[in-house]
Chain A
Amino acid sequence: DGGITQSPKYLFRKEGQNVTLSCEQNLNHDAMYWYRQDPGQGLRLIYYSQIVNDFQKGDIAEGYSVSREKKESFPLTVTSAQKNPTAFYLCASSRQNRGTDTQYFGPGTRLTVL
């Protein structure tokens, strides 16, 4: 099946620990994105990548880091510098990043920091 997978579905971490969220796609999409969603809020862009080995900060990149070593994979690390990391994290991909391509979303990871 083609699609975007995120793992794990639920993640619990203690305050001060770094944690890495996985995002994999087999759609052969060039562009990948990470969003954060808080209750009652829309999605906010954390980072995005248009091509392998390149990525750009979104609106709320502070306290997060990403890598794009492979086309299929775009992991997100939530560092201890992120002041309020508990949220629902969504990964998305699109064929390209030209403004005309629909983004398709993975199932999400709900991160809870204790």
Chain B
Amino acid sequence: EDKVVQSPLSLVVHEGDTVTLNCSYEVTNFRSLLWYKQEKKAPTFLFMLTSSGIEKKSGRLSSILDKKELFSILNITATQTGDSAVYLCAGITQGGSEKLVFGKGTKLTVNP
């Protein structure tokens, strides 16, 4: 059975801290991994990672995929209160029934 496991499930930090969110996956015919940020409603896209070892960056956020260890991390540096959200990781299968398999998310709370 395909599964994606995120850790920690919740995290509370102070503004300015750096955080690392973890995502491990066991996905049949794995193609890519996605990170989303979900505040109150719809998840918004952050990164798609397809190749191992290549870091993707967007401002204070960065992410990398390790296809050998079946693992990805999302780093957020100099956190701000606006970073408070649930961060979702999803693995994409490829093949006849491509679909996303989501983890339960990491709830990040950044306190001032």
A residues whose Cβ falls under 8 Å from a Cβ of B: 33, 35, 40-45, 48, 56, 58, 90, 97-100, 102-108
B11 within 8 A of partner (CB) = no
Residues of B within 8 A of A35 (CB): 102
Residues of B within 8 A of A102 (CB): 34, 45, 48
Number of A-B residue pairs at CB separation under 8 A: 58
Residue of A43, A44, A97 near B98 (CB, 8 A) is: A97
B31 within 8 A of partner (CB) = yes
Residues of B within 8 A of A58 (CB): 99
Q: A98 and B99: CB pair below 8 A?
A: no
Pick 13 A–B contacts, CB within 8 A, sort by A: A33-B99, A42-B88, A42-B90, A48-B99, A90-B43, A99-B31, A99-B32, A99-B94, A99-B98, A100-B32, A105-B36, A107-B41, A108-B42
Q: A42 and B31: CB pair below 8 A?
A: no
Residue of A56, A97, A105 near B43 (CB, 8 A) is: A105
Q: B97 and A41: CB pair below 8 A?
A: no
Residues of B within 8 A of A45 (CB): 99-101
Nearest Cβ distance between residue A57 and chain B, in whole angstroms? 9
Residue of A41, A99, A105, A107 near B92 (CB, 8 A) is: A99
Residues of A within 8 A of B44 (CB): 105
Complex Cα spacing A25 to B62, Å: 30
Q: A90 and B31: CB pair below 8 A?
A: no
Q: B50 and A100: CB pair below 8 A?
A: yes
Nearest Cβ distance between residue B24 and chain A, in whole angstroms? 13
Q: B98 and A98: CB pair below 8 A?
A: yes
Q: A106 and B42: CB pair below 8 A?
A: yes
> In chain B between 76 and 112, which residues have their CB closer than 8 angstroms to a CB of chain A?
88, 90, 92-95, 97-105
Q: Given A42-B4, A43-B88, A98-B94, does the pair A103, B100 have CB atoms closer than 8 Å?
A: yes
Q: B34 and A40: CB pair below 8 A?
A: no
Q: A90 and B42: CB pair below 8 A?
A: yes
Residues of B within 8 A of A42 (CB): 4, 6, 88, 90, 102-105
